[in-house]
């Protein structure tokens, strides 16, 4: 990391990786935590995220605006909290950077999935995911990008959802883009270009939980049909002609029994490292 002297009053600039961060002087001793959703960490127990090129086009500007507004308005213990927001630029003509200061968590769910979790911890993490999503859906907000890297936890097993750049309001007459949700966690109606609502977030939560239980990632439509079975006539009738032909021409599978996908021995009552 390399410090720079040139910065507006009250700020200082520093190179972290391949990015320059111009930060309020109150945030010192910065250290990178990778390219994930929380950006960089400072010693004051907060996470600072620099929005990547938020104004390069209309799409990026909308995503930056959504994330800022939703983090400002949503108040729930399982949704990441916005503590501060600032820009080093002092005029509208120069305005180009936005920094969000958030609660600092210990890890994201990608790291937690690799751990040896018992039934109690798995259940508590799932419960918190569903509580956070229920709160969003009660406000007619669809997250649309739920995945392990957008879910963060503390060592005490508390969980929070973050990254609202792709979130949208449910309902309305507009056509929502089909290119949302990282592919491993996309619901069939998203993959197949159908209309969708809040239930796409529930599908994503199911995929995440299945990955936590099995420590194995599903991938796109083919493994979905090979696991859940071929689509029935009512579902096929909802598809446009081209998509319907594609689905009908795929290999036919019978659904796997739940007991075979998730046998009881996947749900241990206690972690091996702890007492019962």
CATH number of the domain within which 157 lies: 1.10.510.10
Q: Tell me, yes or no, whether 89 and 116 share the same domain.
A: no
Would the pLDDT of 224 be above 70? no
Whole-angstrom Cα distance, residue 59 to residue 19? 21
Last residue of a domain, one of 103, 118, 144: 103
The residue-averaged pLDDT of 43-68 equals: 82
Residue 4 lies in a domain: no
Active site residue 44: no
In the structure, what pLDDT confidence band is assigned to residue 37 with cuts at 50, 70 and 90? very low
Between 274 and 186, residue with greater pLDDT? 186
Last residue of a domain, one of 181, 204, 223: 223
Residue 271 has what pLDDT?
53
Residue 216 has what pLDDT?
54
Expressed as residue numbers, the domain containing 201 is 107-223
Q: Tell me, yes or no, whether 65 and 140 share the same domain.
A: no
Share of the chain above pLDDT 90, in %: 20
How confident is the prediction for the chain on average, in pLDDT?
79
Residue 222 has what pLDDT?
47
Q: Tell me, yes or no, whether 69 and 137 share the same domain.
A: no
In the structure, what pLDDT confidence band is assigned to residue 17 with cuts at 50, 70 and 90? confident
Q: Tell me, yes or no, whether 73 and 51 share the same domain.
A: yes
Residue 171 lies in a domain: yes
The residue-averaged pLDDT of 36-53 equals: 70
Number of separate domains in the chain? 2
Residue 87 lies in a domain: yes
Catalytic residue among 97, 106, 145, 163: 145
3-state secondary structure of 247: helix
pTM, to two decimals: 0.77
Residue 269 has what pLDDT?
61
Burial class (CB in 10 A: 0-12, 13-18, 19+), 60: middle
> For residue 55, what is the domain's CATH number?
3.30.200.20
Q: Within a 13 Å sphere around the CA of 197, how many CA atoms are in the beta-carbon half? A: 7
Residue 263 lies in a domain: no
| Tens digits of residue pLDDT in 233-270 | 887 777 778 777 877 787 777 777 777 777 777 766 65
Last residue of a domain, one of 77, 103, 129: 103
The residue-averaged pLDDT of 178-206 equals: 75
The residue-averaged pLDDT of 129-156 equals: 92
Secondary structure letter of residue 38 according to DSSP: T
What is the phi/psi pair of residue 231, to 5°?
-65, 145
Q: Tell me, yes or no, whether 200 and 114 share the same domain.
A: yes
Q: Which residues contact 20 (CB under 8 A, 6 or more apart)?
A: 4, 13, 14
Q: Tell me, yes or no, whether 79 and 142 share the same domain.
A: no
Residue of 126, 117, 172, 174 whose CA lies nearest to 151 = 126
Would the pLDDT of 179 be above 50? no
Q: Tell me, yes or no, whether 95 and 165 share the same domain.
A: no
């Amino acid at each position: 990391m390399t410090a720079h002297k040139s910065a507006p009053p009250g700020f200082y600039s520093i190179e972290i990786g391949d990015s320059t961060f111009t930060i309020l002087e109150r945030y010192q001793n910065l250290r990178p935590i990778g390219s994930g959703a929380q950006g960089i960490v400072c010693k004051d127990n907060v996470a600072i995220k620099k929005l990547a090129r938020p104004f390069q086009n209309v799409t990026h500007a909308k995503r930056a605006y959504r994330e800022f507004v939703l983090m400002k308005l949503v108040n729930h213990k399982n949704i990441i909290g916005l503590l501060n927001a600032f820009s080093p630029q002092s005029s509208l003509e120069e305005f180009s950077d936005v920094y969000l200061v958030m609660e600092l968590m210990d890890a994201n769910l990608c790291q937690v999935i690799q751990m040896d979790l018992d039934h109690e911890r798995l259940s508590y993490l799932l419960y918190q995911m569903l509580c956070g999503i229920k709160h969003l859906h009660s406000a007619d907000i669809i997250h649309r990008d739920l995945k392990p890297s957008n879910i963060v936890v503390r060592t005490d097993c508390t969980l929070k959802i973050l990254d609202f750049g792709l979130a949208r309001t449910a309902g309305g007459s507009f056509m929502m883009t089909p290119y949302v949700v990282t592919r491993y966690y996309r619901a069939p109606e998203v993959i197949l270009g159908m209309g969708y609502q809040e239930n796409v977030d529930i599908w994503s939560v199911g995929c995440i939980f299945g990955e936590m239980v099995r420590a194995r990632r599903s991938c796109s439509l083919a493994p979905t049909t090979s696991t859940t079975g071929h689509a029935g006539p009512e579902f096929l009738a909802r598809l446009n002609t081209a998509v319907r032909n594609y689905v009908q021409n795929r290999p036919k599978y019978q659904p796997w029994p739940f007991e075979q996908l998730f046998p009881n021995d996947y749900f241990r009552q206690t972690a091996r490292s702890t007492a019962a």
